[in-house]
Homo-oligomer: A and B are copies of this chain.
């Protein structure tokens, strides 16, 4: 159980379901572009960006700025410049989880020992630097309620709900897809101080249905893709199944309202996590081209 895709792409594989995306999938994705409209699906990043209680907010420091020149800083050859440094958690803002991010029984996806993930080295296996850029078909599944309102905290998005959303959009979820699920939850982030206390999201049945369809990535406009609170006695069951069992990366914190407003259902999707060696995830900017 829960080792569904282990060995599927070889015993050394660290990319998991990204292997579902082959040349034909990329070509098909490129062929979807109609208006050449380019959209970012990412949140802006700042110290004001909300974070869950166990993570620290981002910090942004200027190492040199316009003020330093206003105060008399030298300008050799007239040149002036500004630079800055950021401190941020990897699971911050719009980000993707590496396959080393979640597991159980001391085994990561594909059976790698979690003992290889250490303070001194980061993740020896399934780090974010193994992922590479993602170019695929993006599919938007809108599961907001019938009146167009955001789902509320804890509401599970079931397989039936995903199927209905796909049918409504006239799309079929296929191998290599990046499936983006719109619950409306992230629109509450900046106003709801309890944003991180729970969320609507997919349940285990929906997760398994997507995984068995061969999707490459599952994304959502919430902070952890799956419904929270969890079913009784379970903790992040979708993370455990999808990341560890199927080798499918989760894409969290997506901004999907503009994509929905543009009427997008399938589109070219491009995203590239920063290749932190041994990192467990990365903020990134997913791009849709309609």
Partner-B contacts on A (CB < 8 A): 23-24, 26-27, 30, 33, 35-40, 42-47, 55-57, 59-73, 75-91, 100-106, 113-120, 122-123, 129, 132-133, 135, 230, 233-237, 239-240, 268, 270-281, 283-285, 287, 289
Contacts and interface: CB of A to CB of B under 8 A. Distances in A.
Query: Which of A44, A129, A276, A277 counts the most B-chain CB atoms under 10 A from its CB?
Result: A276
A100 B80 contact: no
Task: State how many copies of this chain the complex holds.
Answer: 4
Given A40-B133, A70-B70, A122-B60, A106 B85 contact: no
Q: Chain A at the B interface: mostly helix, strand, loop or mixed?
A: mixed
Nearest to A268: B30
Given A33-B30, A42-B275, A104-B78, A56 B73 contact: no
Contact of A79 (B40, B63, B102): B102
A46 B235 CA distance: 27
Contact of A66 (B77, B117, B240): B117
Nearest to A244: B80
A268 to B, nearest CB: 8
B62 A117 contact: yes
Contacts of A91: 83
A81 to B, nearest CB: 5
A70 B87 CA distance: 26
A40 B81 CA distance: 28
A85 B77 contact: no
A39 to B, nearest CB: 8
Contacts of A82: 100-101, 114, 117, 123, 280
A168 B57 CA distance: 46
A288 to B, nearest CB: 9
B67 A71 contact: yes
A107 to B, nearest CB: 9
A100 B139 CA distance: 36
Contacts of A272: 40, 42, 270-272, 284-285, 287
Contacts of A100: 82
Contacts of A38: 26, 132-133, 135
A123 to B, nearest CB: 7
A118 B279 contact: no
Contacts of A75: 104
Nearest to A126: B82
